[in-house]
Amino acid sequence: MSFSRMAAGISLSLLLSSCGIFHQTKISEPTGKSEHTLSQKVIDLARKKIGSPYRAGGTTVTGYDCSGLVYSTFEEVGMKLPRTSVEQATVGREIAFEHVRPGDLVFFATKKNDRKISHVGLVTEIRDKEVVLFIHAANTGVKEDNLFSEYYRRTFVTARRTF
């Protein structure tokens, strides 16, 4: 891990802990793994969960909710994320919609007339400038959708880079 990356992680941890925000917000990354390898591993693990059912509060193959899918997948590679989508949206650094890449987290406000984050997904693939796939646990189960579909484009709030 580079010194600048380690310093950024420490700064984020100090900032969050000094604000009284969730102590588990620090991302712990296993040593010796490159960013690309680790993000691809997370994507591969998440894709193995496609077809799993939706279950509120779920974090296992018997059922996932959106943040449970992200939480458990990152945990499988040794990275600790907060449990809820609102908390997960505080991790890493914010990036613009048009700059997302595989491994980034994308957050949405899916409740009508409410801009509060209520959904999270993981960018898995960029096919072209209007097809960016992300995996998430929808009410129909774990699946991939296009970030550029009308619904997700309209409900998008922010994206975060954790790698």
Q: Could you list the active site residues?
A: 66, 119, 136
C-alpha span between 40 and 77 (Å, rounded): 11
CA distances 87 to 13, 22, 145, Å, are 13, 8, 23
Report d(CA 86, CA 68) in Å as an integer.
12
Any residues with CB less than 8 A from the CB of 107 and at least 6 apart, and which?
A: 85, 88, 89, 117, 119, 120, 156, 157, 158, 159, 160
